[in-house]
């Protein structure tokens, strides 16, 4: 059986486009930044290529979408599910386009479960600034600070992030497992942030967050998870996949 069988439910991970802090590497959790003009272009390009009838993410096959409450994620959702990507996003879910309307309000949940990691005292800092500050306070010995292991002072621990992601994974499986062998479409989409989506991948694969699994996830990009051999006990990820033909091709 092909692992590329598009009838097997998939989880699409959509990272928001560029923000001012994305450009300089500052930790952006609860700070509510909007997309830059280039960030809008990034997501609009992804939408044109990958979202729409007969495309990789077909709104007709989407059972549910979970969106982070942050403006940058809400804008990204709006751009992805708008039929004309030239529309300037307002940040309001489903405010500007037929694809968003086609999903139906009942299919879209805005939730803190997929919000970015709460960086607490590290909000707005660079990695080197965080490590230098912790060293001055005598918090780290031979091992440098690692968010996957150590979490954030005044913010979330790895366990707290694990708990909320596992809760979301349980909801996704409730939708997808009954459809694992076909039947009604059961794709889902998560529209969120770079670190929390990489954390989600680890939990989907049943790895602890401190597992050393190097990943990169560009702003405006799409990742894809599914089930190997249509087996709910074999969650996996695509390292590449063929894209469907569209009428325009």
Tokens encoding 22: 């994305």
To the question of whether residue 28 is assigned a binding role by annotation, the answer is yes
Q: How far is 178 from 68, CA to CA, in rounded Å?
A: 26
To the question of whether residue 29 is assigned a binding role by annotation, the answer is yes
Q: Which residue do the tokens 């299919």 mark?
A: 107
Half-sphere exposure of 190 (CA within 13 A, CB side): 29
**What order of strands is seen across the sheet that includes strand 235-237?**
108-110, 62-67, 187-192, 11-15, 222-227, 235-237
| 195: enclosing H helix or E strand | helix 194-204
Distance separating the N- and C-terminal Cα atoms of the chain:
27
By annotation, the residues acting in catalysis are 16, 116
Q: How far is 8 from 46, CA to CA, in rounded Å?
A: 22
> Quick check: helix, strand or coil at residue 164?
helix
> Quick check: helix, strand or coil at residue 57?
strand
Nearest to 30, CA basis, from 116, 127, 89: 116
Quote the strand ranges of 78-210, DSSP E: 108-110, 187-192
| 75: enclosing H helix or E strand | helix 71-80
| 12: enclosing H helix or E strand | strand 11-15
Residues tagged in the binding site annotation for substrate: 28-29, 72
């Amino acid at each position: 059986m092909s692992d590329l069988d598009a009838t097997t439910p998939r989880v699409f991970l959509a990272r928001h486009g560029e923000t001012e802090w994305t450009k300089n590497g500052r930790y952006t959790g609860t700070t509510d930044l909007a997309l830059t003009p280039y960030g809008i272009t990034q997501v609009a390009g992804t939408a044109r290529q990958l979202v729409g009838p007969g495309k990789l993410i077909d709104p007709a096959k989407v059972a549910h979408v979970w969106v982070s409450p942050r403006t940058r994620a809400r804008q990204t959702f709006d751009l992805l599910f708008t039929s004309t990507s030239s529309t300037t996003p307002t940040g309001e879910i489903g405010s500007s386009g037929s694809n968003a309307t086609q999903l139906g309000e009942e299919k879209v949940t805005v939730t803190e479960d997929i919000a970015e990691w709460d960086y607490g005292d590290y909000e707005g800092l660079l990695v080197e600034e965080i490590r230098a500050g912790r060293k001055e306070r005598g918090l780290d010995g031979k091992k440098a600070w690692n968010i996957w292991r150590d979490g954030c002072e005044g913010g979330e621990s790895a366990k707290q992030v694990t708990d909320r992601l596992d809760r979301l994974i349980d909801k996704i499986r409730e939708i997808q497992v009954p459809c694992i062998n076909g039947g009604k479409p059961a794709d889902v989409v998560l529209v969120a942030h770079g670190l929390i989506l990489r954390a989600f991948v680890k939990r989907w694969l049943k790895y602890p967050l401190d597992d050393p699994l190097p990943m990169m996830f560009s702003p405006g990009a799409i990742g894809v998870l599914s089930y190997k051999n249509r087996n709910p006990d074999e969650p996996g990820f695509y390292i590449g996949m063929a894209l469907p033909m569209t009428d325009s091709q």
